[in-house]
Amino acid sequence: MKSRNRQLIKIIDTAINKLMQYIDDTDIIIDNNGRLGCGAFGAVYKAICKNEIVAAKTFKSQAQNTDELSTLCSSKCQSPYALHIIGVANLNTNEPKFVLQYMDGGDLRGHLDKRRNNEVTVTNYSRMEIAWAIANVLADIHHYGCIHHDIKIHNVLLSTKHYTKKLVDLGQTRDIATTMTQGAGTLYCTAPEVLKGGHYGVQADIYSFGFVLTELDILLVPFSCNSKQSE
């Protein structure tokens, strides 16, 4: 994948990644001390599923997350650089779970913090390689007539396996034709027109991507106290 041949990468990805499958809940062993992240809808934990290290996403309740669950299950936004759903358990209950690829390099924010502090990182991707991957997954999402809706540095995960960088949180992905205004995305990297109550479209995704590119360049959150002190 270092050759960055877009078509070749898609062929390889299709060959090695299976379709989403339904998994028995008893096959998922969650490490409750290994929480990888959390949000308004639930949390992600390190887990074991059928002798493979995975990430398990749990939800607080099915009723609160109908949109995200249906989007993840029926997502047409297939891309080698989007995090793959391995399987789903307890889909029609109050405790659904998604089994996802485990990304051992953590999120891009943590990676950049280590680079800035001259610490050892799990992965050794160049900033150009990471930017190329994000640009390609955005191109794939927009090609399918959708918008990601929450492009940010924390939603880019890294892995040493198969030379991968992945964009996550596709549960926020929506059809471009859908009318969307405020309440979307993350405040500090949301496009000005959206903050003013305007429509969230492809342009807003690109604005957020530009914010990520700036973070890749300066290794800090733009306009933050730390970035001002470093000037």
Binding residues: 57
Annotated binding site for ATP: 57
Q: Distance between the two ends of the chain, CA-based, in angstroms?
A: 35
Residue owning tokens 């990805």: 13
Please indicate whether residue 104 is annotated as part of the active site.
no
Cα–Cα distance list, 224 to 17, 155, 219 (Å): 39, 19, 12
**C-alpha dihedral (169, 172, 177, 183), degrees to nearest 10:** -140
| 71 C-beta neighbours (distance < 10 Å), count | 20
Q: Which of 13, 107, 150, 205 is catalytic?
A: 150
For 41, 59, 155, 173, the CA distances from 35, given in Å and listed in that order, are: 14, 13, 16, 24
By DSSP bridging, strand 85-89 and strand 97-101 are antiparallel
Residue 94 CB-density burial (10 A; 0-12 exposed, 13-18 middle, 19+ buried): exposed
The residues that are catalytic are: 150
